[in-house]
Amino acid sequence: MNLPVIDSGISSPASNSGDERRHLLDLSQEDLKNWLVEHGQPGFRAKQIIHWVYQRRISDFREMSDLPKALRSQLDESFRVFVTSQTAAVQSSDGTDKLLIGLPDGGEVECVLLRDGSRRSICVSSQVGCAMGCVFCASGLDGVDRNLTTGEILEQMLLLQARLEDSERLSHIVMMGMGEPLANLDRVLGALNIARSADGLGISPRRITISTVGLPPAIDRLASNGTPYNLAVSLHAPNDQLRSKLVPVNQKIGIDKVLDAADRYFDSSGRRLTFEYVLLGGVNDSPDHGRQLAKLLKHRTVLLNVIPYNPVEGLPYVTPTKASIAEFRQVLESGGVNVKFRQRKGDEIDAACGQLRRNRGNSNDQEPSTQN
């Protein structure tokens, strides 16, 4: 596929080899406070530093003018703000930007900025690859390599934020990129703590969504964390027989347990649940599937997001026809389900998670240029 590469190898000043300094973004505000106190500084400087990085978008300690000069050099000796490099950026005509991010160990992840009216949403990865094995998804085709660190998750947010014009404001975060966020929950929560902090990105938890394949113990852990993030559960099938084929982890869990955990999350967070349903032509899009789905969801306070499949090269799945999408919609609406049919955004830039990484891996004409 021909990708409209708008820039490449820019932005984050990553120089990784031999640099022993810690990744500043891996530290919570508390960790940073402790470091400062250990170095004879007042703890409130943590707030100042976080404000510089996230609000003022400054990554060079020398520019942090309200810090004592000696501290600025000490910080520079001890920390790096960015450890990744942006290996590609592509933009589609509907205002969607997608970045391919190179990690210090050579791995790559994707993240996306979506523009919709005044809404500026970013879609962020939580792992390199994915272990869940959903058969239609590009991210997990080669399994999972590793969890991203808190700092690597936050870097994606900062790099996407940096693409906004002065007149634009980051408004929403969705943990819907590569990987299963609930399989890397501690680091994801660490990153979201900074994302929602007033000195960090200042995004309300009501505007942050964590998307999961549906791992009940981790959903319970997320509920007990107490911050009311939105939860989206990727359902994709209305019965266990089909779901276990499409979403293999379902074999060990089953839809009932996923729905029970989602209900508990709703009870404790008070946040309306979202269910995601990728519509695969001839696989899960029949009127009967629609009726079964309506039966599962109509007594729950949920939004069902139906997403037409974004085709992945080499996989046998197709986007349903317009007529079958319309019929599926009619069945759900008359079945009493609150349903939204999402537009596919960013098709031309492989916006479905994992596709850009794969396609770049297959093409020789667009070698990522990394910075050293």
CB of 159 to ligand SAH, least distance (A): 19
**Neighbouring residues of 298: CB distance < 8 A, sequence distance ≥ 6:** 335, 336, 337
Indicate the residue among 74 and 211 with the shorter CB distance to ligand SAH.
211
Active site residue 137: no
Q: Which of 91, 212, 230, 274 binds ligand SAH (CB under 6 A)?
A: 212
Indicate the residue among 203 and 353 with the shorter CB distance to ligand SAH.
353
State how far the alpha carbon of 274 is from the alpha carbons of 208, 287, 290, in Å: 12, 21, 16
Contact segment (CB under 6 A) with ligand SAH among 76-84, 131-139, 195-203, 290-298 equals 131-139
Backbone phi, psi, residue 145, to 5°: -90, -50
128 binds ligand SAH (CB under 6 A): no
Indicate the residue among 189 and 307 with the shorter CB distance to ligand SAH.
307
The residue among 214, 189, 207 whose CA lies nearest residue 121 is: 207
- CA 131 remoteness from chain centre: 16
From 111, 123, 130, 353, active-site residue: 353
From 110, 152, 155, 180, active-site residue: 110
Q: Which of 176, 192, 255, 297 binds ligand SAH (CB under 6 A)?
A: 176
CB of 98 to ligand SAH, least distance (A): 14
- Residue 160 has which token pair? 């996407």
- Residue 195 has which token pair? 């994302």
Q: Are 281 and 136 in contact (CB under 8 A)?
A: no
Q: Are 54 and 203 in contact (CB under 8 A)?
A: no
134 binds ligand SAH (CB under 6 A): yes
Indicate the residue among 101 and 312 with the shorter CB distance to ligand SAH.
312
Indicate the residue among 82 and 136 with the shorter CB distance to ligand SAH.
136
Q: Which of 121, 150, 211, 250 binds ligand SAH (CB under 6 A)?
A: 211
CB of 344 to ligand SAH, least distance (A): 7
Name which of residues 252 to 311 contact ligand SAH (CB under 6 A).
276, 278, 307, 309-310
- In 3-state terms, the chain is what percent helix, strand and coil (to 5)? 40, 20, 45
**Neighbouring residues of 339: CB distance < 8 A, sequence distance ≥ 6:** 303, 304, 305, 306, 329, 332, 333
Where are the alpha helices (H) located in 62-206, listed in sequence order? 69-78, 150-161, 185-196
136 binds ligand SAH (CB under 6 A): yes
Name which of residues 301 to 320 contact ligand SAH (CB under 6 A).
307, 309-310, 312
CB of 309 to ligand SAH, least distance (A): 5
Crossing angle for the helix pair 322-334 and 287-297, to the nearest 10 degrees: 30
Q: List contacts with ligand SAH (CB under 6 A).
A: 132, 134, 136-137, 176, 180, 211-213, 234, 276, 278, 307, 309-310, 312, 352-353
Which residues form the catalytic set?
110, 353
